[in-house]
């Protein structure tokens, strides 16, 4: 088991299987099937992300460097949470961008029954270490255990 420490963006604790992307997450392309076409498993629709394409994001510890794409990113994350099609948590190796942070924070404040802990600034070592399927445990203080 390895421990990493990051900054809490949206609070919470969770244990979930890892889903890893070494490229940026285009939130709109990734969640489009879930939000527009009723895909309840939140299957990633971003053909430009070979790490995630056609993989289920619902209930996973989504490990990534950053989000990319349009200014709709925050709203997409908020809507995924509102529709209960969000990852179990989002873990960023780099500092989170303002749009993803806004969507995550608004979901944690406006949707009290829906949790999606978000931790950023976990470092490159985190993203190099974690692999798909590893068990991730996130604690309230931003400590992340990878088993």
Q: What is the dihedral of CA 6, 13, 141, 145, to 10 degrees?
A: -50
The torsion angles phi and psi of 12, rounded to 5 degrees, stand at 145, 170
Taking residues 104-124, what's their average pLDDT? 95
* pLDDT(38) > 90: no
Residue 94 CB neighbours (<10 A): 16
Distance of CA 133 to the CA centre of its chain: 15
* Predicted confidence (pLDDT) per residue in 39-79, tens digit: 999 999 999 999 999 999 999 999 999 999 888 999 999 99
Residue 100 CB neighbours (<10 A): 26
Indicate the pTM of the whole model: 0.96
Q: Say what the pLDDT of residue 47 is.
A: 95
Q: Say what the pLDDT of residue 71 is.
A: 87
Q: Say what the pLDDT of residue 138 is.
A: 98
> If pLDDT is split at 50, 70 and 90, which confidence band does 123 have?
very high
* Predicted confidence (pLDDT) per residue in 96-106, tens digit: 999 999 999 99
Q: Say what the pLDDT of residue 134 is.
A: 98
How many domains does the structure of the chain reveal? 1
* pLDDT(141) > 90: yes
Q: Say what the pLDDT of residue 70 is.
A: 80
The torsion angles phi and psi of 19, rounded to 5 degrees, stand at -130, 120
Q: Say what the pLDDT of residue 112 is.
A: 85
Q: What percent of the chain has pLDDT over 70?
A: 100
Segments forming the whole domain that contains residue 54: 2-146
Coil vs helix vs strand at 106: helix
Q: For the domain that residue 120 is a member of, what is the CATH number? A: 3.50.30.10
Nearest C-alpha neighbor of 54 from the set 83, 76, 21? 21
Q: Cβ(66)–Cβ(21) under 8 Å? A: no
Mean pLDDT of the chain: 96
Q: Say what the pLDDT of residue 41 is.
A: 95
């Amino acid at each position: 088991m390895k421990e990493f420490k990051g900054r809490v963006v949206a609070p919470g604790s969770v244990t979930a299987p890892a889903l890893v992307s070494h490229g940026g997450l285009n939130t709109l392309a990734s969640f489009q099937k879930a939000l527009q076409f009723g895909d309840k498993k939140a299957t990633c629709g971003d053909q430009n992300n070979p790490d995630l394409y056609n993989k289920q994001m619902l209930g996973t510890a989504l490990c990534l460097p950053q989000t990319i794409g349009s200014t709709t990113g925050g709203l997409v994350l908020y809507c995924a949470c509102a529709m209960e099609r969000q990852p179990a948590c989002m873990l960023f190796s780099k500092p989170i961008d303002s749009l993803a942070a806004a969507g995550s924070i608004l979901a944690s404040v406006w949707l009290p029954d829906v949790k999606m802990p978000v931790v950023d600034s976990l470092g490159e070592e985190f993203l190099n270490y974690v692999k798909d399927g590893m068990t991730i445990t996130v604690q309230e203080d931003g400590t992340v255990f990878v088993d």
